[in-house]
């Protein structure tokens, strides 16, 4: 069997001639393909990983339980593989780029009749391996991984349709489009990643048997899709080596460099997220706030005078009929409320006359064709029916048939006409309303990304996908203005990549886990990431506030909290914000760097912000309930800093020495040039 070699060194890529044997440098990656277009050997630096008896490379699966069928990869040109029995065709090739290999392909349904599911799978040999679940979690090959169970359709509340639940834990994840494994000796590392402009449903995993890093694309193929996606699904992903010491952190660093435009910071504003309150005149500490989620645009001049950027509130993932007087408990009740205007106890944000046609044009449908809804009791809409809706700007629309996208863009245009000084727009609830599946086939024609399938193999449109389309179109319409949104949670990476300011509403549970904040920090890169803590009715204790603020500032996340009624806890916690918010701003403006090039003893968190003195900082946070002694060690060569720098701890404003961190406490080290 003949073998084809593909290889690259980070500085420049080279293609080895047939049968050539080379000893590449430590950061080189070489892929060896056999004459059938499968992967024979992967070489990362001096480490080689053989396919062995189990085939590696590209595959397709017919349905959710079908066998993996091997497909060929071309080198520099497409290579097609037909599967007559499955009535599928896969065409794909790999290209050498300056710092990665790019695989591009398409899977097609040659049957071209009914809807169907088809997964594209790519496997690279790499074992034994340490799996990087996040920037703070690794699972070595000797460890037994814990798994999480996904929510099934039968577990859902009435009217919910199908709700997404991310997979986390074990040796798999389906929410971050970058995955990484490293060798246990940290000599080599490998990353697979999906470009930020290629939204799709995916799953990464490390399979200890047969010993490979795997990427799955979960595609739905439908003849109802537009021509580009009619019975077909294009796919793209990149392969690159990473520093085995830094794993996913280096994978993120390189990913952000590959797609630098996505991670460009477009505002120098830095500070807290301000939500609704009686009036801006009630804000006694405007210097703490940077981004106003505005609901009273008449106060826009005052907000700007106070130094805030102004982002009018919009929501595109739902429309609701609120303050309903009658009791609503069933699907028939919901249909009755939608068909005939119900009696209301007070006025809602949108009238029934506005909501009804939007639900008819943009409402989601479940697998049985029923309208998807959610019954709620909220402080802003009382007894209400919320309808998840498709915000795609590509749904057919007219004056007689408005869509949620056209309805919201009309709001945007009115706001800009009245207030051209606006800095941009705020979009609410990407996480909640993007979590629904949509089986409405007439909506399939509006997709601009491949359709997906559910656990049963039914073709569907995850509602976060048209949110991506909406955010892109919003950017196009508002020009140089910015987009700020809430809901940058696991599962919303492709939405997050379209944002300029990333928002998230954590809960006290996030004081126990890094899942949410690791994700937010990873997808934001150097862009502002702001948080609004949502706590239970009984309130938030002072120790919880202290832990929240320091824990989140440790990752450069601006830590505001809900203040209902305004100004709840303002006076109590004023000293905390006076102490930590100036530090948070310095970190934020310096910019988060995934690779720290530093270590700290004592199992404390460590993050780096900035690249060179005087804008170089390290955060050290003790997440434990007991004091920890720690020592910071810097890799001066990697950081390109000499001996003529000074280190000072800026929270307590003291000279740097070995530190004893009290429980749940943050310290920040500033690296400065000596005078």
- Model pLDDT for residues 413-466, shown as the tens digit of each residue: 999 999 999 999 999 999 999 999 999 999 999 999 999 999 999 999 999 999
With residue 495 as reference, give the H or E element that holds it.
helix 493-496
Please confirm whether the linkage preceding 557 is cis (ω < 30° from 0).
no
Is the pLDDT confidence value at 337 over 70? yes
Higher per-residue pLDDT: 221 or 642: 221
User: How far is Cα of residue 544 from the mean position of the Cα atoms in its chain?
Assistant: 27
Q: What is the pLDDT of residue 229?
A: 97
pLDDT, mean of residues 537-564: 96
The model's pLDDT over 617-635, given as tens digits with 9 standing for 90+, comes to 999 999 999 999 999 999 9
Q: What is the pLDDT of residue 9?
A: 39
- Same domain (yes/no): 460, 564: yes
- Same domain (yes/no): 89, 210: yes
Is the pLDDT confidence value at 606 over 90? yes
Note whether residue 267 is domain-resident. Answer: no
User: Which residues contact residue 459 at a Cβ distance below 8 angstroms, ignoring those fewer than 6 apart?
Assistant: 115, 116, 117, 220, 221, 222, 439, 444, 451, 452, 453
CATH of residue 653's domain is: 2.60.40
- Same domain (yes/no): 302, 324: no
- Same domain (yes/no): 527, 545: yes
pLDDT, mean of residues 337-343: 96
pLDDT, mean of residues 511-537: 95
Q: What is the pLDDT of residue 655?
A: 83
pLDDT band at 380 (very low <50, low <70, confident <90, very high): confident
Structure tokens at 395: 């749904």
Q: Would you say how long the chain is, in residues? A: 675
- Same domain (yes/no): 15, 126: yes
In this predicted structure, which of 45-54, 140-149, 561-570 has the lowest mean pLDDT? 140-149
Rounding to the nearest 10 degrees, give the CA dihedral for residues 462, 464, 469, 470.
130
Note whether residue 264 is domain-resident. Answer: no
Domain end marker among 590, 625, 647: 590
Is the pLDDT confidence value at 360 over 70? yes
- Same domain (yes/no): 370, 477: no
Global pTM reads 0.94
Structure tokens at 51: 């396919």
CATH of residue 433's domain is: 3.20.20
Q: What is the pLDDT of residue 313?
A: 97
pLDDT band at 642 (very low <50, low <70, confident <90, very high): confident
pLDDT, mean of residues 16-36: 60
User: How far is Cα of residue 448 from the mean position of the Cα atoms in its chain?
Assistant: 19
CATH of residue 175's domain is: 2.70.98
Note whether residue 266 is domain-resident. Answer: no
DSSP code string of 158-194: TT---B-----STTEESS-SEEEEE-TTSS-EEEEE-
Note whether residue 265 is domain-resident. Answer: no
Q: Are 300 and 419 in contact (CB under 8 A)?
A: yes
Q: What is the pLDDT of residue 112?
A: 86
**Secondary structure letter of residue 355 according to DSSP:** H
Domain end marker among 340, 372, 389: 389
Q: For residue 478, how many C-alpha atoms fall within 13 Å in the half-sphere facing its CB?
A: 30
The model's pLDDT over 224-235, given as tens digits with 9 standing for 90+, comes to 999 999 999 999
Q: What is the pLDDT of residue 2?
A: 54
The model's pLDDT over 214-226, given as tens digits with 9 standing for 90+, comes to 999 999 999 999 9
Structure tokens at 372: 């998807």
Domain holding 160, by residue range, is 3-258
DSSP code string of 449-474: S-BEE-TT--EEEETHHHHHHHHHHH
Task: Please tell me the total count of domains within the chain.
Answer: 4
pLDDT, mean of residues 537-565: 96
User: How far is Cα of residue 27 from the mean position of the Cα atoms in its chain?
Assistant: 27
Q: What is the pLDDT of residue 27?
A: 64
Is the pLDDT confidence value at 277 over 90? no
Domain end marker among 348, 374, 389: 389
pLDDT band at 23 (very low <50, low <70, confident <90, very high): very low
pLDDT band at 484 (very low <50, low <70, confident <90, very high): very high
Q: What is the pLDDT of residue 675?
A: 64
Least Cα distance to 495 among 396, 395, 440, 427 occurs for 427
- Same domain (yes/no): 581, 642: no
% of the chain surpassing 90 pLDDT: 86
Q: Write the CA distances from 358 to 335, 426, 441, 470, 473, integer angstroms.
A: 14, 20, 17, 16, 19
In this predicted structure, which of 171-175, 379-383, 518-522 has the lowest mean pLDDT? 379-383
- Same domain (yes/no): 352, 362: yes
pLDDT, mean of residues 59-65: 94
- Same domain (yes/no): 385, 395: no
Note whether residue 354 is domain-resident. Answer: yes
Is the pLDDT confidence value at 20 over 60? no
Is the pLDDT confidence value at 19 over 50? no
Least Cα distance to 635 among 214, 243, 150 occurs for 243
- Same domain (yes/no): 57, 203: yes
Please give the Cα distance from 457 to 437 (Å, whole number): 13
% of the chain surpassing 70 pLDDT: 92
User: Which residues contact residue 368 at a Cβ distance below 8 angstroms, ignoring those fewer than 6 apart?
Assistant: none
- Same domain (yes/no): 228, 292: no
- Same domain (yes/no): 9, 38: yes
């Amino acid at each position: 069997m003949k073998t084809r070699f593909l290889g690259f060194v980070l500085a420049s890529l080279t293609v080895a001639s047939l049968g050539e044997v080379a000893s590449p440098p430590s950061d080189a990656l070489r892929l060896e393909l056999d004459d059938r277009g499968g992967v024979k050997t992967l070489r990362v630096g001096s480490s080689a990983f053989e396919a062995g008896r189990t085939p590696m490379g590209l595959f397709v699966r017919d349905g959710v339980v079908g066998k993996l069928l091997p497909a060929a990869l071309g080198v520099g040109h497409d290579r097609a593989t037909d599967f007559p029995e499955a009535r599928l065709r896969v065409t794909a090739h790999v290209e050498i780029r300056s710092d990665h290999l790019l695989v591009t392909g398409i899977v097609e349904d040659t049957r071209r009749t009914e809807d169907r599911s088809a997964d594209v799978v790519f496997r690279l040999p790499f074992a034994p391996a340490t799996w990087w679940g996040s920037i703070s979690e690794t699972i070595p090959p000797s460890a037994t991984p814990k798994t999480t169970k996904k929510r099934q359709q039968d577990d859902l509340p009435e009217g919910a349709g199908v709700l997404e639940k991310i997979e986390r834990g074990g040796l798999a994840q389906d929410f971050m489009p970058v995955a990484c494994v490293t060798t246990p000796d940290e000599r080599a590392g490998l990353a697979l990643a999906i470009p930020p402009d290629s939204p799709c449903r995916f799953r990464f995993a490390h399979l200890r048997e047969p010993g490979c890093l795997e990427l799955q694309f979960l595609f739905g193929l439908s003849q109802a899709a537009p021509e580009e996606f009619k019975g077909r699904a294009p796919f793209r992903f990149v392969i690159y080596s990473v520093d085995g010491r830094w794993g996913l952190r280096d994978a993120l660093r390189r990913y952000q460099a590959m797609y630098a435009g996505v991670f460009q910071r477009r505002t120098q504003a830095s500070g807290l997220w301000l939500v609704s309150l009686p009036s801006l005149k009630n804000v006694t500490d405007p210097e703490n706030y940077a981004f106003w989620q505005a609901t009273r645009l008449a106060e826009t001049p005052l907000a700007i005078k106070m130094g805030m950027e102004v982002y009018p509130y919009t929501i595109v993932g739902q429309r609701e009929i609120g303050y309903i007087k009658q009791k609503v408990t069933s699907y028939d009740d919901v249909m009755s409320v939608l068909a005939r205007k119900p009696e209301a106890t007070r006025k809602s944000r949108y009238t029934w006359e506005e909501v009804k046609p939007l639900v008819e044009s943009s409402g989601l449908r479940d697998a049985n064709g029923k309208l998807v809804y959610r019954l709620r009791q909220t402080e802003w809409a009382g007894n209400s029916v919320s309808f998840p809706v498709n915000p795609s700007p590509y749904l057919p629309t007219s004056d007689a048939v408005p869509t949620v996208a056209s309805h919201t863009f009309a709001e945007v245009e009115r706001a800009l006409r009245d207030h051209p000084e606006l800095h941009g727009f705020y979009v609410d609830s990407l996480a909640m309303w993007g979590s629904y599946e949509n089986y409405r086939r007439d909506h399939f024609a509006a997709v601009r990304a491949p359709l997906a399938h559910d656990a049963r193999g039914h073709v569907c449109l995850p509602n976060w996908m048209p949110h991506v389309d909406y955010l892109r179109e919003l950017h196009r319409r508002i020009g140089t203005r910015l987009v700020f949104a809430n809901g940058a949670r696991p599962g919303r990476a492709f939405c997050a990549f379209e944002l300029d300011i990333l928002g998230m509403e954590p809960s006290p549970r996030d004081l126990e886990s890094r899942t949410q904040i690791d994700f937010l920090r990873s997808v934001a890169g150097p862009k502002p990431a702001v948080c609004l803590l949502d706590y239970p009715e009984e309130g938030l204790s002072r120790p919880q506030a202290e832990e929240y603020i320091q824990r989140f500032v440790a990752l450069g996340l601006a830590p505001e909290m809900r203040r209902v009624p305004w100004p709840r806890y303002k006076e109590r916690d004023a000293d905390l914000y006076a102490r930590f918010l100036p530090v948070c701003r310095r970190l934020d403006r310096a910019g988060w760097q995934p690779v720290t090039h530093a270590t700290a003893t004592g199992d404390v968190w460590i993050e780096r912000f900035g690249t060179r003195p005087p804008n170089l900082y390290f955060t050290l946070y003790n997440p434990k309930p007991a004091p920890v002694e720690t020592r910071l060690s810097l890799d001066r060569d990697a950081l390109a800093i000499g001996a003529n720098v000074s280190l000072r701890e800026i929270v307590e404003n003291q000279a740097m020495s070995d530190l004893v961190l009290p429980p749940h406490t943050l310290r920040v080290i500033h690296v400065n040039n000596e005078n």
